[in-house]
Amino acid sequence: MTDTTKDRVVIFDTTLRDGEQSPGATMTHDEKLEIAELLDDMGVDIIEAGFPIASEGDFRAVSEIAERSKNSVICGLARANFNDIDRCYEAVKKAAQPRIHTFIGTSPLHRAIPNLTMDEMAVKIEETVTHARNLCDNVQWSPMDATRTEWDYLCRVVEIAIKAGATTINIPDTVGYTAPRESADLIKRLIETVPGADEVVFATHCHNDLGMATANALAAVEGGARQIECTINGLGERAGNTALEEVVMALKVRGDIMPFETGIDTKKIMHISRRVAAVSGFPVQFNKAIVGKNAFAHESGIHQDGMLKNAETFEIMRPEDVGLSGTSLPLGKHSGRAALRDKLRQLGVDVGDNQLKDIFVRFKDLADRKKEVYDEDILALVTATNTDAISDSLQIVNLKVICGTGGPAEATLEMEIDGKEQTAVSEGDGPVDATFKAVRMLHPNKARLQLYQVHAVTEGTDAQATVTVRLEEDGMIATGQSADTDTVYASAKAYVNALNRLIMRRSKSEGSDAKEVSYKDVN
């Protein structure tokens, strides 16, 4: 069982479930397995691995994560019906520690959706929680939109869920509506008022619509909650969820006023943050707390002077505490494979011999074009290597672009499509537009460009550009990412990577008769 003593806060990560609900953040099967392994290794107590009835792909991912888990409780989500709950248990039952998480919307707005009266919903809660508990000893129940549910009714349904066998009661702020004082008071009053509340764990699940998710989660802990639901980088529906890295480091740094601890190895935070950003296609904003590029940067003169004299002047935690190396010594074109492997290990990246070989080839090519290759460059190479392994239906062979101020840009693109080389020449409003049009000439598609982002990995005119492209076609969303010192080439690679993902997902969809179900705005 998970340690739930009074000074221990359980970390429940829902990056693979709620985090993946962000439009465009859908991960591949292998990426889900990788992130789950990193979460398990980092010390996350409970991993909500997915919504098993949503699709055959989600079921397979949750099942395999359950089988592979070493330390974490593996949880699946289920709506308040027997089919969902049965499917969820089938997915998680092989875990050493399985959990069923079932929910129903209890606020007036959510009760109106299935058109249930208060009494009818109360009966449904009792029946479904009882059914889940008969299958699994570890059952979590959530009254979705709890913070907008009538107080008396919330107490009533929480009591019903406890009597039916729920071992964890999660109180979701589904739309990020509450404030810290309300969050603390709600948990405190429930624990004091509801019979049997002292025998279960209360959890908090906060969304960030008003920018208060972390504050609300920490306030709930002060009110008596001992489980925080969160995601890496705060990924999630709309404005996202409580960020794991923020609550964990807040509890660590401010233990003087919040005497609670977690089981998280904080030195692994930065690595998993970067991996989630890479596989989801959602870059971390520069000024993001804890994991943002500028979180430990000091530019103003007075700040730099203070840092030189005493780092604690302007830093309340050390970069090393979250997995940033104290120094960022660059490698160069004369650096060997052993030096590259050692650098990867320092950055928290463990690769096999074959992957190291691929990364080393890219590293040497980059080192020939750049005087110095920094940590961020190397991490971008790792991401590019992983992305390129997704599919090989479409491959760029050569790209030549002519552009200037005198007229439209022209792109000459050679691609290998299913093993056959083809060439197209296209004009466009700029080099990227011309290149994307050339791709569409060679591989006609109806995919709509939802997102095109360019970020410089490091400083300087020879910096690598990391390009993210998100495409939507027939309801399917795919994100591609690539990095190169040539921004146009990186753009082309990212676009092609996204198309390859769409091809792969379309193929899997056509090969399966499993029906996708909608679960937007869950919790």
What's the CATH code of the domain at 500?
3.30.160.270
* Side-chain half-sphere CA neighbours of 24 within 13 A: 20
Q: Is 205 annotated as a binding residue?
A: yes
On whether residue 3 sits in a domain, the answer given is: no
Q: Which residue has the higher pLDDT, 28 or 251?
A: 251
Kindly report, residue by residue over 171-211, the tens digit of the pLDDT. Answer: 999 999 999 999 999 999 999 999 999 999 999 999 999 99
Q: Is 18 annotated as a binding residue?
A: yes
Among 66-75, 248-257, 493-502, the range scoring the smallest mean pLDDT is 493-502
Q: Are residues 84 and 222 in the same domain?
A: yes
On whether residue 5 sits in a domain, the answer given is: no
CA distances from 475 to 422, 443, 502, 509, 522 (A): 29, 19, 11, 12, 19
Average pLDDT over residues 88-103: 98
Phi-psi region at 233: left, alpha or beta (left = phi > 0; alpha = psi -120 to 50): left
On whether residue 519 sits in a domain, the answer given is: no
Q: Are residues 226 and 101 in the same domain?
A: yes
Tell whether the model's pLDDT for residue 70 goes beyond 80.
yes
**C-alpha 436: how far from its chain's center?**
28
Task: Give 51's contacts (C-beta < 8 A, 6+ positions apart).
Answer: 17, 58, 76, 77, 78, 519, 522
What pLDDT is attached to residue 446?
Answer: 92
CA atoms of 460 and 466, how far apart (whole Å): 14
Q: Are residues 406 and 376 in the same domain?
A: no
Q: Which residue has the higher pLDDT, 202 or 303?
A: 202
What pLDDT is attached to residue 206?
Answer: 98
Percent of the chain with pLDDT over 70: 89
Task: Give 496's contacts (C-beta < 8 A, 6+ positions apart).
Answer: 394, 395, 396, 415, 439, 480
- Please choose, from the candidates 360, 396, 398, the residue with its C-alpha nearest in 3D space to the C-alpha of residue 381: 360
Q: Which residue has the higher pLDDT, 97 or 373?
A: 97
Q: What separation, in Å, do the N-terminal and C-terminal C-alpha atoms of the chain show?
A: 24
CATH number at residue 121: 3.20.20.70
CA atoms of 25 and 237, how far apart (whole Å): 10
Q: Are residues 352 and 269 in the same domain?
A: no
Average pLDDT over residues 241-258: 96
Token couple for 477: 């969303």
Average pLDDT over residues 258-268: 96
Q: Are 215 and 180 in contact (CB under 8 A)?
A: yes
CA atoms of 170 and 523, how far apart (whole Å): 10
Q: Are residues 445 and 470 in the same domain?
A: yes
Kindly report, residue by residue over 409-441, the tens digit of the pLDDT. Answer: 999 999 999 889 999 999 999 999 999 999 999
Among 113-117, 182-186, 346-350, 359-363, the range scoring the smallest mean pLDDT is 346-350
Q: Is 131 annotated as a binding residue?
A: no
Q: Maximum Cα–Cα distance for the chain, whole Å? A: 77
What pLDDT is attached to residue 282?
Answer: 85
- Residue 254, SS3? coil
Q: Are residues 150 and 299 in the same domain?
A: no
Q: Are residues 247 and 302 in the same domain?
A: no
- What confidence category does residue 328 fall into, taking pLDDT thresholds of 50, 70 and 90? low
Tell whether the model's pLDDT for residue 4 goes beyond 60.
no
Q: Are residues 301 and 268 in the same domain?
A: no
Average pLDDT over residues 252-280: 93
Residues 64, 66, 70, 72: what is their CA dihedral angle, to the nearest 10 degrees?
A: 140
- Please choose, from the candidates 380, 369, 509, 502, the residue with its C-alpha nearest in 3D space to the C-alpha of residue 445: 502
On whether residue 288 sits in a domain, the answer given is: no
- Looking at the structure of the chain, the number of domains it has is 4
Residues 254, 258, 259, 265: what is their CA dihedral angle, to the nearest 10 degrees?
A: -50
Q: Which residue has the higher pLDDT, 406 or 137?
A: 137
What pLDDT is attached to residue 419?
Answer: 86
Percent of the chain with pLDDT over 90: 61
Cβ burial 272-306 (10 Å sphere, 16+ → b, else e): bbbbbbbbbbbbbeeebebbbeebbebeeeeeeeb
Please state, as a whole number, how many other Cβ atoms lie within 10 Å of the Cβ of residue 157: 24
Give the predicted TM-score (pTM) of the model.
Answer: 0.82
What pLDDT is attached to residue 325?
Answer: 67
What pLDDT is attached to residue 2?
Answer: 46
CA atoms of 347 and 508, how far apart (whole Å): 34
CA atoms of 422 and 399, how far apart (whole Å): 12
Q: Among residues 342, 361, 387, which one ends one of the domains?
A: 387
Token couple for 15: 């990056």
What pLDDT is attached to residue 303?
Answer: 39
Tell whether the model's pLDDT for residue 306 goes beyond 50.
no
Residue 37: give the domain boundaries.
Answer: 10-280
What pLDDT is attached to residue 314?
Answer: 46
What pLDDT is attached to residue 408?
Answer: 92
Average pLDDT over residues 319-341: 77
**Is the CA virtual torsion 30, 34, 39, 41 positive or negative?**
positive
What pLDDT is attached to residue 332?
Answer: 78
Kindly report, residue by residue over 442-486, the tens digit of the pLDDT. Answer: 999 999 998 898 988 777 777 888 898 989 998 888 888 888 889
Q: Are residues 32 and 101 in the same domain?
A: yes
* Helical H segments across 172-330, by residue range: 180-193, 213-223, 244-253, 269-280, 301-309
Q: Are residues 67 and 155 in the same domain?
A: yes
Place of tokens 């969809």: 509
- What confidence category does residue 515 fall into, taking pLDDT thresholds of 50, 70 and 90? very low
CA distances from 59 to 53, 64, 89, 94, 501 (A): 6, 9, 10, 13, 19
On whether residue 495 sits in a domain, the answer given is: yes
On whether residue 518 sits in a domain, the answer given is: no
- Please choose, from the candidates 392, 389, 321, the residue with its C-alpha nearest in 3D space to the C-alpha of residue 355: 389
Q: Is 241 annotated as a binding residue?
A: yes
What pLDDT is attached to residue 352?
Answer: 83
On whether residue 289 sits in a domain, the answer given is: no
Q: Are residues 91 and 39 in the same domain?
A: yes
CA distances from 145 to 53, 157, 204, 212, 239 (A): 22, 13, 12, 16, 16
Q: Among residues 367, 387, 407, which one ends one of the domains?
A: 387
Q: Which residue has the higher pLDDT, 75 or 343?
A: 75
Please state, as a whole number, how many other Cβ atoms lie within 10 Å of the Cβ of residue 319: 15
- What confidence category does residue 391 fall into, taking pLDDT thresholds of 50, 70 and 90? low
Tell whether the model's pLDDT for residue 111 goes beyond 70.
yes
Q: Are residues 27 and 113 in the same domain?
A: yes
Tell whether the model's pLDDT for residue 308 goes beyond 50.
no
What pLDDT is attached to residue 304?
Answer: 36
On whether residue 213 sits in a domain, the answer given is: yes
